[in-house]
Amino acid sequence: MALQSVKIGKNVTSIGSSAFSGCKKLKAVAMGKAVKSIGSSAFRGCTGLKTVKIERAVSIGAGAFQSCASLKTVVTGSRLKTIGSNAFSGCKKLSSITLGKNVASLGVKAFYKCTALKKVTLPAKVSKVGKQAFDGCKSLKSITI
């Protein structure tokens, strides 16, 4: 039986690089409020993952959710400051992302080829949007900063 859900405990402060990478049947992740960082490729290729709520993390590493083909919704909390390169690249069903007010940096290709993404509102604190951050987002109609 394949891993289908993960509940990150209240004492876990970091999700390591490639921790759940390739868990194709993983559908749900409940992150504890102590999680401050999500490592590179932590959930990369989790093609069954549909929704992610990141309440207290400060950083999302490079490729953390790359190629999560079923991911539709991402909600981040107000503590998030950095979204790494390719963090959500190739999330073809991602149609909604709510970024917290303190996001300051989007890495290169952060949302590359998120073909269902229609509208993005970036917080006023954003000072860096990496190259090709929204390249290949064919449905994107507006970006508000």
Closest CA to 59 of 94, 14, 101: 14
User: And the tokens for 7?
Assistant: 């509940």
103 pLDDT tier (thresholds 50, 70, 90): very high
Query: Would the pTM of this model clear 0.85, i.e. be above it?
Result: yes
Q: Is residue 7 part of a domain?
A: no
Find out whether 85 and 62 touch, Cβ atoms under 8 Å. Answer: yes
In a domain, 9, yes or no: no
pLDDT, tens digit, 9 for 90 and up, residues 68-98: 999 998 888 899 999 999 999 999 999 988 8
Q: Does 30 score more than 90 pLDDT?
A: no
pLDDT, position 17: 97
In a domain, 39, yes or no: yes
3-class SS of residue 74 = strand
18 inside domain: yes
Residue 70 lies in a domain: yes
Between residues 1 and 46, which one has the greater pLDDT?
46
**Residue 1 confidence (pLDDT):** 58
Q: State the pLDDT at residue 20.
A: 95
Which CATH number goes with the domain that contains 81? 3.80.10.10
Give the per-residue pLDDT at 97.
Answer: 85
- Does any domain span residue 2? no
Spatial separation of the C-alpha atoms in residues 104 and 97, rounded to whole Å: 15
3 in a structural domain:
no
Domains held by the chain: number: 1
- Whether residue 6 is contained in a domain is answered as no
The whole domain housing 19 covers 14-145
